[in-house]
Structures are given as C-alpha cells and as structure tokens.
Amino acid sequence: MGVKKQFSEKALHDFRLIDKAVQEHDEQAYAELMERYKKPVYHMILKMVRNVDDAEDLTIEAFAKAFKSLHKFKKDYTFSTWLFRIATNNAIDFIRKKKLETMSLNTSYQDESGADVTMDLKDKNLDPQEEAIKAQKIELMRLFVNKLPPKYQRLVRLRYFQELSYEEIAKELDAPLGTVKAQLHRARELLQDIIRGKEDHI
C-alpha cells in the first residue's frame, strides 16, 4: 500500500496509527485515532440530526464501524475523509429510517486538501449491501454491550436493538425520563471506553 500522493503530516501520523492498530493490535493507537476525530465527527453528525442524544449514539456507531473495517483501509486518501464518509453515511441511514427532514441534500465536508467530500442522500429502502452493513453493526454493538455492567445493558438494548425512544424506555422501566437519559449518557461513555480499550475500571 504505497502512498500515491502528498499528504499532510497529520494524515501521515494517522497512517502510522492505523498500521499500529491493525498490525500490532495496539489499543492506544485506536484510542488516539478516536481522540483526534471524536469532536469533529460528533459536531458534523449533530448538524445533520440536530439532536444531542442521537448524535452521541451515531458517533459511537461510526467509530465502531470504522474500527471494525480498519484493516480494509487503503492509503489512497486520508483517514479523516474515509471516517467522515462512514459517519455521514451512517447518519444518512438513520435520517432515512427516522424520516427526518433535517439534512440539506448538498451536505459536504472538506478534507485536509480542501476538496469537498459530498454525500448522497438516496430516497429508497436499504439495499442488500446496506442491510449487511446494518447487521454487522448490530453484531458489533452486541459485543460491546455485553461488556457493560448489567444495569446498563438493558437500557442500551432497549435503545439500540429494540429502537425505543427515550420516552418509551422510561415507560418500560417505570423510571423518570431524566434518569433514563443520564444513565444512557453514562452507558455511552462506558461504550466509548470499551471501544478505546480502556475498560479496566468497568
């Protein structure tokens, strides 16, 4: 996998981190990649879905999906471009599913070279490839969720797998809405720690 064009030092550093993560299974490399891009990915998704809770969910999903496929990454373009495509397409799937009309059709992200990375919003059902990706994402999330403390596992399963709203979860558990939101927020933080390999304290 040769580098075919000039990349910034930041992009080259990303390439080194990816090599460590994939070849050496270096958990710290995964953690650094997430730290470098967690905020910009979150803010981009937030602009698309305009909901803090959903944006946090989708940010975790984007990194989980990217790390799952990191061994397939080719150095023909920057890691940030690849990651933003994954994050955006994942958010588009969410928007399509929820039928939210909150995203402009010309949403774009500028990569480090200043080139526009445009995303297509297709108004159709999931095709077989998208269905396979969704199934893979759910399987990956189940692995992460199984590492959570039991009291958080049920909350996350209701939210992610049964796809209940916060209000529906509160009703299901007979708990205050604020408590449900707070506990799910904590569960997301723990999931981030698990993805980053910092689960010793869990």
CB-based burial label for 80 (10 Å; 0-12, 13-18, 19+): buried
- What DSSP element (H or E) covers 34? helix 27-49
What gap in Å lies between CA 172 and CA 128, rounded to an integer?
33
For helices 52-68 and 27-49, the axis angle rounded to 10 degrees is: 140
Check residues 198 and 165 and name the one with the higher pLDDT.
165
**Mean pLDDT for the chain overall:** 78
Encode pLDDT of 70-126 as tens digits.
999 998 889 999 999 999 999 988 888 775 443 333 344 445 555 555 444 444 455
Is the per-residue pLDDT at 53 higher than 60?
yes
Q: Can you give the pTM of this predicted structure?
A: 0.54
Phi, psi of 109 (to 5 degrees): -130, 135
Domains of the chain: 1-124 (1.10.1740.10), 127-202 (1.10.10.10)
pLDDT over 90 (residue 18): yes
Q: What is the mean pLDDT of residues 135-155?
A: 75
pLDDT at 92: 87
Number of H helices and number of E strands within the chain? 8, 2
CA–CA separation, 84 and 151 (whole Å): 32
